[in-house]
Structure 1
């Protein structure tokens, strides 16, 4: 997504310069409306500049299109109330970290109980036995490790792949996102490999650690694997972080076959696509990863990540680093993890999520709401004959300003309209709807209602009316 106020990018419809100027003017108008209706948040944002490097506890928090973020007073279910007393229906849900909904009662109850017993000791609890068995049941891989984030889980998966293959490179798909993993900070743009959208160079030689091809391109994938230096392919089951890119028919079968022929491990990152169901896209479609990663939602908003490995990968790991060493004190040979990984608080909340929150019934409700949201948006698009589309999978949906779903990152780059995205995000914030601020992706949680979805449809309809009034749609 472009910085707030910028309309650089493709300019379909009206003449490019005039259209861009009119979109910029509308963004400024929406941002001024936001400033006028959020005086306490504006003051808090100014104060934050004095103490935080980028104005807030995380630099991600500055990326909202209003010019500054709302400051949250409380969040419950699918709703947020800010310090200015304004109410929002939340389809961002912490960019999936809040997929369980805000403050789900089972998670709150488990967290309070465990805090009273001790949050972290670097020792296991009995809850961990239940969690390990449930992860194996849901995702189909037998052996698991807990981390503090999906980024850490991806780093661990990459390190394991390098250890047991003796290879150095990681193959990723152009425009991917796998957290703060250097190997995945790449994309193909204008035929050249560089850093993905808006990531600043930091001296890492990505050509030495990464290889990047377009998603769904089996020929390019096989050519890259043929060089014999790729330790693992790291991928989402379908891309969600660059704009949702559906997977082509037969791609996963070809990917799995190609990686096995090349002796390359397949790492599936389900951090977003866990919204497809209790076992994520992997269980729903019978994928067979060597390593599976997830995070964000898995502990109900308490920082957590997980990775599971196949029996074959485990045996190869144990050949290098034995599970037990009775003669000597154990030491951290793997170079991954941390003292807070698998802490008692995280494990307790993870059990609550898996046992009581992200149940099959909950996913049924979430998926139904996402379907209703997609149908409502599609109806508005069809009514006005707009060259846009909606993609939905499981509890997740996205509106994209192009006529057909992209097949790869190059399609997203060619079809993206950053100014229009920024305008939509700013307008939505003023109308009490929050969506993922990086692109127009929606997520439904167990607490999302049909009324919440219909509120979005009404706001989307008003947004389209604004564009038509201004001659932009």
Structure 2
């Protein structure tokens, strides 16, 4: 779908940009070389190797919609920690709450009053009355899958083809024809995903109905819209159809709103009137401090109370010593009371709309078969027409082109999420920030296609 791109020109431009990058980031280069001595692959987390450039940029400060690296280069940050900083960086209310809580004890294995406030607020936003907490959305998803198998007595879980739910073993699965296989890049699968997992294409209700009819699936874990393979939106009526089919086959519906919280204060669940049995949300709900939460209906909660009260609850496979610590819950109370509100999305969503229009204008100008998609305050461009499922979006990934565009933007002080073409907006961003990306993106495409 990217046949209009001259690959020789792309390679030459990438070489030029690599030289510019190295010249302007000497301090990061020195730290990257030093990191090779003690950090595996030279980074504290493997995916940090995915950033544009021949070495990672080392950050110094981040505030609002800006971050500054150790070489003093300031960026318009459209990554925002891949949604972890959807509130904007260094939210003052969170910084104050964290400092205050740190002086009064960070973790005790005892509940704090903030836990009640946060659970009540999440219930108000998402419409589910009972909540528990985790350190990350990955953990929350893992716990919920255990609950689903326990409650139903069924061995498998179901996910969407090319979904993303963190590093949960059962979810790192895709379709190869009719076969369920490990997602490309999944290292050392714990067990064969064909045994643990059913996979169905997004936007295919018939396929979902056929698979759930086999009677071995405990729950369907899904995002309301795919987000980590480019944004793939549901067809009209698809969400309602999913709910009808899961109820028909007595399969619990678990909605993962960790990325789709960008749709509004209650994510797609509130915006689209969804009715999950359980819901997971993480990343930005504590303003960047690690925390996730999972909610459930009264009926599900009633069925789970018994197992929660046993003497073996601490070895049930659910929880963790630092989980629901007082620091994280104080941060969450501060974040949810001062950000991610209707008034915040009323600023951020129009910025994403402006971004979408700007990128679409560049694509149209050059007649490229690309597309830009938006969900709330998040927008992404893909190198194909609007995809309806994850496999189509995955087939359009062009790593060479993506890496060039990211590096071109980074060299002009615009930071995109490293492993897909995502831009996220917070109330700290401005129209000038959006227009700067449009200008830089337009220059990159001009350079590519002439």
**How far off is 1:27 after superposition?**
2.3
Q: 2:225, 2:231 within 8 Å by CA — same for their partners in 1?
A: yes
Partner of 1:154: 141
From 317, 335, 348, give the equivalent of 1:366.
348
From 257, 276, 279, give the equivalent of 1:292.
279
The 1:119–1:415 alpha-carbon spacing in structure 2 relative to 1, beyond 3 Å, is same
Q: 2:141, 2:280 within 8 Å by CA — same for their partners in 1?
A: yes
Matching of residues 160-171 of structure 1 within 5 Å: 160-171=147-158
From 442, 447, 450, give the equivalent of 1:466.
447
**How far off is 1:192 after superposition?**
4.2
Partners of 1:21 and 1:377 in 2: CA distance: 24
The CA RMSD over aligned residues, in Å, is 1.6
Q: Size of the alignment, in residue pairs?
A: 450
From 59, 64, 72, give the equivalent of 1:72.
59
Partner of 1:435: 416
Partner of 2:4: 13
**How far off is 1:24 after superposition?**
3.0
Matching of residues 176-187 of structure 1 within 5 Å: 176-187=163-174
Gaps of 5+ in 1: 1-9
Partners of 1:188 and 1:352 in 2: CA distance: 42
Matching of residues 339-418 of structure 1 within 5 Å: 339-402=321-384, 404-418=385-399
The 1:414–1:58 alpha-carbon spacing in structure 2 relative to 1, beyond 3 Å, is closer
Gaps of 5+ in 2: none
TM superposition score normalised by structure 1: 0.92
Partner of 1:25: 12
Q: 1:237, 1:269 within 8 Å by CA — same for their partners in 2?
A: yes
Q: 1:11, 1:20 within 8 Å by CA — same for their partners in 2?
A: no
Q: 1:246, 1:405 within 8 Å by CA — same for their partners in 2?
A: no
**How far off is 1:429 after superposition?**
1.0
**How far off is 1:198 after superposition?**
2.5
Partners of 2:395 and 2:194 in 1: CA distance: 24
**How far off is 1:191 after superposition?**
5.3
Q: 2:169, 2:189 within 8 Å by CA — same for their partners in 1?
A: no
Partner of 1:193: 180
Q: Which moved more, 1:385-394 or 1:161-170?
A: 385-394
The 1:451–1:322 alpha-carbon spacing in structure 2 relative to 1, beyond 3 Å, is closer
Answering whether residue 245 of structure 2 is matched by residue 258 of structure 1, we say yes
Q: Which moved more, 1:247-256 or 1:197-206?
A: 197-206
Cα deviation digits, residues 96-145 of structure 1 (max 9, x gap):
11111110111111111111111111111111221111111111101100
**How far off is 1:25 after superposition?**
3.3
Q: 1:267, 1:290 within 8 Å by CA — same for their partners in 2?
A: yes
From 184, 195, 198, give the equivalent of 1:211.
198
**How far off is 1:242 after superposition?**
1.0
**How far off is 1:388 after superposition?**
1.5
Partners of 1:42 and 1:234 in 2: CA distance: 41
Q: 1:106, 1:357 within 8 Å by CA — same for their partners in 2?
A: no
**How far off is 1:21 after superposition?**
4.2
* Residue aligned with 1:398, SS: strand
Q: 1:161, 1:232 within 8 Å by CA — same for their partners in 2?
A: yes
